[in-house]
Amino acid sequence: MSYKVFFKKLLIFSIIVLSVDFLIGKCLRLLYFNETNGLHARTTYNLEKSREDVIILGSSRANHHYDSRILEEKFHLSSYNGGRDGNFLLFNIAQAKIILSRYTPKIIIIDLKIDDLFWNSQELDRLSSLLPYYRKNLIIKDIIFMRGWTERIKLLSNIYPFNSEIVTIAAGNFEFNRKRNNNNDIRGFVPLNSVINDTLSIYNYELKDLDFVKIKLLQTLLKECKQKKVKVCLVTSPYFLKIGNSTLFENTIHNYFGNVKYISFLNDARFNDRKLFADKFHLNNRGSSLFTNILVDSLRNLMINKK
């Protein structure tokens, strides 16, 4: 085979691959951003459309713990719960950066898990949730590129940002799933109705490998919020666990983020009742109502003392 024929076939093959990537990628993008309810739709709303006064960020614990209705009723401020299942601190820092590039909320609440400041390789994998928004929000490229140098090349593909979300995209476009999710979604807040059948157990907190990249990114975000006069509150919401050495975690927060309001509900006796929890890590609907009402008083102090 002559070089001329080889390169001709290579050119044709490349055109076919690029065309398929373009067409499938465009279809996936259309279907993804066509979702009106569910996980993807909530994230899209939070990143691209939210204009609420109070924004809640965090993992599934934030999503199931902070009742937007109570915050609105008590504060007379609009609120949106941007917590997302299976996503952690890096994802939430990226969310905040995108939101702040669009508008300035009055309050941002960031729910911190007790392991959020540790190095976690899985957390980089979960940043795939941000990929559909990358091209519109280059402000988060540094966080996305933490996944590895090949990310710059992979993101040239139109399919790649969606290849880990295909099943969820398909489910999100079924009419049944749209109605089901619409019933569970309350301004981003998704209540859990189950009750754990277990006793309070002990978890001994140990100070493992701190991720100073994450710490620095959060410090930078908090500085930006201060410059834009956004009031920020870091919160560790309740666990159905007796946390040993809890002050070690709380002191770490104060050491690195001491100029920001921090509220800890670790080992709070008001949350020793299993009937308030769906599992050891998540409050149920009854528990989230109690928690949000208690939190409101502390947030009132934040609004009064940090004007």
* pLDDT, tens digit, 9 for 90 and up, residues 134-190: 988 888 989 999 998 999 999 999 999 998 888 788 777 775 555 555 557 789 999
pTM of this structure = 0.91
What is the C-alpha separation between 285 and 276, in angstroms, rounded? 8
Contacts 24+ apart (CB under 8 A), 246-251: 246/114, 246/205, 248/205, 248/207, 249/114, 249/205, 249/207
pLDDT at 9 over 70: yes
Q: What percent of the chain clears pLDDT 90, i.e. is strictly above it?
A: 67
What is the C-alpha separation between 59 and 38, in angstroms, rounded? 15
Residue-wise pLDDT tens digits, 27-80 = 999 999 988 888 899 999 999 999 999 999 999 999 999 999 999 999 899 999
| Inter-residue contact 111 to 62 (CB < 8 Å) | yes
Indicate the angle between helix axes 68-75 and 285-305, nearest 10 degrees.
Answer: 40
Domain ranges of the chain: 3-305
CB burial class (10 A; 0-12, 13-18, 19+) of residue 8?
exposed
**48 contacts: CB under 8 Å, gap ≥ 6:** 102, 133, 136
Tell me what pLDDT residue 180 has: 54
66 three-class SS: coil
What is the C-alpha separation between 16 and 11, in angstroms, rounded? 9
What is the C-alpha separation between 281 and 239, in angstroms, rounded? 5
Measured at the CA of 231, the angle between CA 230 and CA 237, to 5 degrees, comes to 130
307 pLDDT band, cuts 50/70/90, is very low
What is the C-alpha separation between 152 and 193, in angstroms, rounded? 42
Tell me which amino acid residue 216 is. K
Higher-confidence residue of 307 and 210: namely 210
215 pLDDT band, cuts 50/70/90, is very high
Residue-wise pLDDT tens digits, 190-205 = 999 999 999 999 988 8
Give me the chain's average pLDDT, please. Answer: 90
Q: If one looks up domain 3-305 in CATH, what number appears?
A: 3.40.50.1110
From start to end of 154-209, where are the E strands?
Answer: 201-204
What is the C-alpha separation between 17 and 25, in angstroms, rounded? 12
Higher-confidence residue of 301 and 183: namely 301
302 pLDDT band, cuts 50/70/90, is low
CB burial class (10 A; 0-12, 13-18, 19+) of residue 162?
buried
What is the C-alpha separation between 95 and 59, in angstroms, rounded? 12
Tell me what pLDDT residue 5 has: 76
Q: What is the CA radius of gyration of the chain?
A: 21
pLDDT at 3 over 80: no
1 pLDDT band, cuts 50/70/90, is low
What is the C-alpha separation between 266 and 268, in angstroms, rounded? 5
